[in-house]
Structure 1
């Protein structure tokens, strides 16, 4: 309990002193923020303070007054009056794009055209057509091309990496993922529910589908069903909650559930984003006449923000089966269950021999990998903990967009609209 309180004190209240910043222009990556979004402080500003080679240099918003107030609050030195003005700033090396979903495609392409590296909030695009145009853009083909990363930050944390190491992907039988948000947290007039801006629960809670892809290590062959809930009297094209079912190449199945308007009492019953994976029985011991079989279930509670709190529950059910000479099997001779709980707040606890701190959030791990790619392109040595092998590449992001499209199609809802913007 003391460790949990101490860790969250560092996360939420008292961050340790940041490291001194590099002074050489080649050593520094200067970020610009496209939009004064609520997610920006936790997703970029705080982890940037923890990295010696990152400076949040500028912010732009459609409302210059809002951008100025944001800059003053977070100590950002430069305010631009438009997104394009920020992209035209030669001092900026990279941009973070936390704009509404429907603006991701256009402003990511505009940023790449300006030669900026792009850390792009998920979902990367409104649909798979946009994702293919973006991630296969000629702007990314000619080295040294800008670096583009879709910000699935949860993938970079130690707890997720340990969880994946505990799975045996070929023998997974079923995986279920759930993520909910209390209705009080998101007003009904929020941009998340605007069709033109790429709104909808499947878009906003896209984590659930990405988790399934990570669990199986491949793409689904089919969305076998998807039902949605909409606001009574609201835009019929917008889903506020969904339940989807999936089939994977090994014959395994998946279930996804997300809700952006869950009742408070229901949320309190099970507040954490959770994934549960059930494996098929596998032989772990035997001499020909008897066989010991194990059926493993692995559950990760809070797959999104593991530094705050998480728990990995492992349950192994063992059975001993006697085999007759004719190949048939007798009833089970013995059953027993072994349970274990694991946690990984650091990389070493996840089996990776690299230093990290228990209070580091997912966003810091993500930023370290992003900066590692930029520094590698510049021919510089690593100064953080990047280079651990975790990344979200172009085809990965395209496949994720296709999965969202599959769900909307199965639900009978239109795909989010494709932007008409194309680079000149």
Structure 2
């Protein structure tokens, strides 16, 4: 308990090292609440990140935001930030419908971009964005869609227990309490590309793709709930989807903006097919098989709390009639707040146990911009495929795709 409290205190009030010469100077577009966890807090502990400037639609709001977070420069417009030669990178936490335009503008201006998810409103925009010629040039601009949770060590520990080819079913769920997302929230504004699947549910979809290590072939079902008031009736406030993947496995995702006030950690539960285990101690008429279930509790906020449960169900049975002779279950639980704890291919990746997933992500963003080796990365191709999965679900739901920007 004491270690947990210390970890959380340090996560939210981290040490602030001296900034290095050549630190990346960030400009922020919009005084959004998401900016605090997405960049401002993790930047405090990173010696190679400087928060230089911010702009917002309301300059007064930008000035208040800058004063609160120690950002020295306030600019009148987003374009002023992008045009500033002293700014190296742009952070974009704007409403979804503005992501495409302002990311393209920033990339064309020679800036690196850390872009809040979802990166775009639909796959039409994704194809245009991720095929920009500037992104394919040697030492060109860096663009990262901020699926921060995928960078946390707990996720990679979880994956180490899974063979994607053997996955037969995955259940994922996430939620936020209903008080956090009112009807007027931008997450329920169709013109701003809102919807639970666009916002919170995108994490579920991304996790399904990560677990199967593949793309869904079909969305088999997508049931949504909406406010039938003539204003919000194109935006889902919760949903349940079912996808079929190429190996025949089924992936399900459920998420809601109207969750209980009693917060429930996000969950990903993976069921794998029965596998025969060679055992020379058995007679030739018998075989030993195991089926595995792996569950990650807390795939979104792993620094607060998470647990990886691995349950292996063993059976020794007759080969001819498959009748069981002996059954037993072996269960283990694991955690990983650092890559050393996670082990595997990333075990030598340095970092602190109090780092949030945002901080792990920022570490890799800086490495990418500086031309260093990255241990883990989310490619533009990955983000392009992510947008296709979201489109697939919205088409199945009958709500239709989110609007496409007219900017080119």
The TM-score range, normalised by the shorter chain, is over 0.9
Structure 2 stretches lacking a partner, 5+ long: none
TM-score with structure 2 setting the length: 0.96
* Corresponding position: 1:222 with 2:215: no
Look up the SS of the partner of 1:329 in the other structure.
coil
Structure 2 CA distance for aligned equivalents of residues 6 and 149 of structure 1 = 31
Partner Cα separation in structure 2 for residue 168 and residue 321 of structure 1? 24
The 5-angstrom pairing of residues 238-257 of structure 1 reads 238-257=235-254
For residues 49 and 330 of structure 1, what CA distance do their matches in structure 2 show?
59
Equivalent of residue 377 in structure 2, options 388, 391, 397 = 391
What whole-Å deviation, never above 9, does each CA across 1:97-149 have from its counterpart, x for those lacking one?
Answer: 00000000000001111110000000010000000100111232333321111
Q: Distance in 1 between matches of 2:9 and 2:112?
A: 33
Does residue 281 of the first structure (1) align with residue 286 of the second (2)?
no
Query: Are residues 1:80 and 2:67 paired?
Result: no
C-alpha RMSD of the superposition: 1.2
Task: Deviation per CA, 1:162-210: give whole Å up to 9, x if none.
Answer: 0011111111110010011111011111111111100000000210000
1:332 aligns with 2:324: yes
Alpha-carbon separation, structure 1, partners of 2:61 and 2:10: 28
Q: Identify the residue that residue 301 of structure 2 maps to in structure 1.
A: 305
2:350 aligned residue (333, 355, 360): 355
Q: Which structure 1 residue ranges, 5 or more long, are not aligned?
A: 377-381
**Alpha-carbon separation, structure 1, partners of 2:94 and 2:349:** 33
How many residue pairs align between the two structures? 400
Contact 1:11–1:308 (8 Å) recurs in 2: no
2:89 maps to 94
Partners in 2 of 1:413 and 1:106 — Cα distance? 24
Runs of 4+ in 1 over 6 A off after TM superposition: none
Counterpart for residue 379 of structure 1: none
**Pair 1:161–1:330, CA change in 2 (3 A):** closer
Matches of 2:144 and 2:356, distance apart in 1: 18
- Which residue matches 2:5? 5
Q: 1:354-397, CA deviations, whole angstroms, 9 ceiling, x for partnerless residues?
A: 32211000011111111101111xxxxx5xxx621x11111110
Shift of 1:51: 1.3
Range with greater deviation from structure 2 (328-337 or 244-253): 328-337
Question: 1:85-105 deviations in whole A, cap 9, x for unaligned?
Answer: 111111000000000000000
Alpha-carbon distance between aligned partners in 2 of 1:30 and 1:357, rounded to the nearest angstrom: 23
For 2:297 and 2:397, how far apart are their aligned partners in 1? 28
Residue 179 (1) aligns with residue 174 (2): yes
CA shift, 1:232, in A, is 3.2
Q: 1:5-404 alignment to 2 at 5 Å?
A: 5-12=5-12, 14-15=13-14, 17-23=15-21, 27-205=22-200, 206-233=202-229, 234-264=231-261, 267-268=262-263, 271-287=264-280, 288-323=284-319, 328-351=320-343, 352-376=347-371, 387-388=374-375, 390-404=376-390
For residues 355 and 125 of structure 1, what CA distance do their matches in structure 2 show? 32
In the TM superposition, residue 262 of structure 1 has moved relative to its aligned partner by 2.1
Can you list the C-alpha shifts for 1:9-29, whole angstroms capped at 9, x where unaligned? 2123x32x2222112xxx221
- Cα distance in 2, alignment partners of residues 101 and 273 from structure 1: 23
